[in-house]
Amino acid sequence: MRTRVVIIGAGPSGLLLSHLLGLAGIESVLLERQAAEHVQARVRAGILESSTVQLLRQVGLGERLDREGIEHRGIYLQWPQERHHLDFVELTGRSVWVYGQAEVTKDLMAARAEAGQVAYYEVSDVELHDVDSDRPAVNFVDSTGRPQRIDAQIVVGCDGYRGPSKQAIPGRERQTYERTYPFAWLGVLAEVEPSTDELIYAWHPDGFALHSMRSRSVSRFYLQVSPAEDISQWSDDRIWDGLATRFALDGWTLKTGAIAEKSVLPMRSFVTTPMRYGRLFLAGDAAHIVPPTGAKGLNLAVADVDLLSRAIIAWLHEGNTGPAATYSETALNRVWRSTHFSWWMTTMLHRHGDDFDAELQLSQLRRIVQSPSAATELAENYAGLPLERVTRRAQSTEYATGVGPAYAGYLDLDKVSARAEFRDDPDLTESSVDDGWEPLLRGWIEEAACAGIVEATAMLVSTVECTDNGPRPTSRTVLCSGLSSGGVVFFTDRGSSKGHQLTDVPYASVTFVWPALGRQVHLRGPVRQVPAEVTAVHWHSRPRGVQLGAWASQQSRPIASRVELDRVSAEIAERFADVERIPVPARWVGYQVQAEQVEFWQRRRGRSHNRIRVDLDVSGNNAAIRITRLQP
């Protein structure tokens, strides 16, 4: 058997990587030692960072999350007789979502089944061979007992702490860092409505306690216990008494109910390096484990996979191995940041040591709730750092939608997730576009978002209207939904004014303007419709309310009154009330304005502005024909 990528491990990281590669038209095969039902039933992490949610939406996996997930603005910190709320949205502009790992896994499995990609469950005797060569292979025994071999271009280990993948890296090349904590969690899943609107992290002399949730009717609790704790000694009554004691607060009551599950969870930090050896890459728990206190485990795996998928796409579609070469270093920067945050949260909240240590912990907790800067540091780490990009050159390769590399990058700017730090602007020069015009434009958009500019992806689209009195220019502002070396993409109603105008004259110009940053970008070129598959992925990543609005509005057509529009909107909402997946309207299309000419403008004192123009060959491979500096 031959494939392009073998992924060992069909947990969330393996499934998501397979999905992202599939969107780019890259075939993969999944291997998993457990049964599919077992994988889907695992009860694990339940908090998704802002960047994780944005990524899932972006790649068509956000529909059920938006419908069933619970958005949280922050958390509560508690110690005896004090409970304080940290509002992440006020502090950082980012929230988190309660949506269990099992639900993410279900969504990923459904997407893989719909894509018809190959997966082997209940495999055994997995062995990796020749991963340091250009012909790696994986041997295994399938669920029927039949030996199998898969030859591939790349092997990815998403097989967890005990999987064989990291063992394929020679010991002389591999270094392991590990910290085992002197306490564990007694985890409890209870069929009871949560007693809080957001998670409670409680420090108590008896030990740490956490009140989490899985849904609006199922609560998740944790109690600090000894790693050697005998779970049979914890009756339901003892568990509820322990929780009530540690969460005790005047005027607040803990709701109790039937306990469905309970288990003891050891606490450890673990990192193995490097995360790449030859053509073997590690992601998720195969490379690192963090204590669950900081809600980093699943989110860290998603960040790995997002970074790795882009590196693999660049390698297999462009022959660009640069992103793969920097994958381990870039990923480990985030891994160690998240490992530190998880260690810090864990050691601050769990009783260990003597009373001197306890007073230090309480001092740190008070500092967080009294200091905006300390609270912001916690909020930024908890709500999640922006997803990294491997290198600027690698940014030109983005997710496509099963139609191959020619359509890479159509959907990746639907929501800007990166918030790069904005610094004093270096001079714009001809060398600024050495890596191409698209990485520079992407960087400017990300810096605009970082600077707090609302709708940083907004662009002015100008088209030509053919009238009886001759051609007339017309402009309107839309959101850029995709960016690649081929051009920029937006979606609209084909029956709208701009849709008709683009049918008559398939040529347009777009302008991005960020006055606060003193920057503009002008792009012009021929216009073409994007493939229907791309439009479908974009459509199904949109919130349900936006989809209903698009069905209700016949864009640009006259309407009698607002009352009439509201009536039609209500009818559409009723029409699709029982429809889980709202179909794409036939009139909904995407357009790509191909980059024929791109000009970057940068404000300078005395109106001596910088202007750099890039002329491109749209009939070929979008290569730059010439780069020209223009007078201001």
List residues with catalytic annotation.
Answer: 72, 201, 292, 296, 382
Give kind and range of the element (H or E) at residue 305.
Answer: helix 297-318
Give kind and range of the element (H or E) at residue 128.
Answer: strand 124-129
Q: Which residues of 43-53 are buried (b: 16+ CB within 10 A; e: fewer)?
A: eebbbbbbbbb
Instruction: Please state, in angstroms and rounded to a whole number, the distance separating the CA atoms of residues 472 and 466.
Output: 6
Q: What is the SS3 assignment for 189-237?
A: EEECCCCCCCCEEECCCCCCEEEEECCCCCEEEEEEECCCCCHHHCCHH
List of E strands, 399-480: 458-467, 470-479
State whether residue 33 is helix, strand or coil.
coil
For 243, list phi and psi in degrees, rounded to 5.
Answer: -65, -45
User: What's the Cα-to-Cα distance from 386 to each of 51, 294, 443, 554, 604, rounded to whole Å?
Assistant: 6, 16, 13, 37, 30
For 517, list phi and psi in degrees, rounded to 5.
Answer: -100, -5
Cα 149–chain centre separation: 33
Task: Identify whether the C-beta of residue 287 lies closer than 8 Å to the C-beta of residue 304.
Answer: yes
Instruction: Please state, in angstroms and rounded to a whole number, the distance separating the CA atoms of residues 374 and 304.
Output: 27
Please list the alpha-helical segments (H only) found in 59-116.
63-68, 88-92, 101-115
State whether residue 306 is helix, strand or coil.
helix
Is the four-CA dihedral 466, 469, 475, 476 of positive or negative sign? negative
Task: Identify whether the C-beta of residue 117 lies closer than 8 Å to the C-beta of residue 30.
Answer: yes
Question: Bridge partners of 79?
Answer: 82
Residue whose C-alpha is closest to residue 628's, from 608, 609, 611: 611
Instruction: Please state, in angstroms and rounded to a whole number, the distance separating the CA atoms of residues 11 and 109.
Output: 10
State whether residue 434 is helix, strand or coil.
coil
Q: What is the dihedral of CA 195, 200, 202, 206, to 10 degrees?
A: 40
Q: What is the dihedral of CA 553, 556, 558, 560, to 10 degrees?
A: 40
Assigned token pair, 444: 């400017």
Task: Identify whether the C-beta of residue 243 lies closer than 8 Å to the C-beta of residue 156.
Answer: no
Total Cβ atoms within 10 A of residue 318: 17
Task: Identify whether the C-beta of residue 391 lies closer than 8 Å to the C-beta of residue 325.
Answer: no
Helix crossing, 12-23 with 297-318: angle to 10°?
30
Cα 327–chain centre separation: 17
List of E strands, 308-457: none
Residues in the chain, how many?
632
Amino acid at 524: R
| Beta-sheet pairing, 458-467 with 507-514 | antiparallel
Total Cβ atoms within 10 A of residue 268: 14
Task: Identify whether the C-beta of residue 10 lies closer than 8 Å to the C-beta of residue 32.
Answer: yes
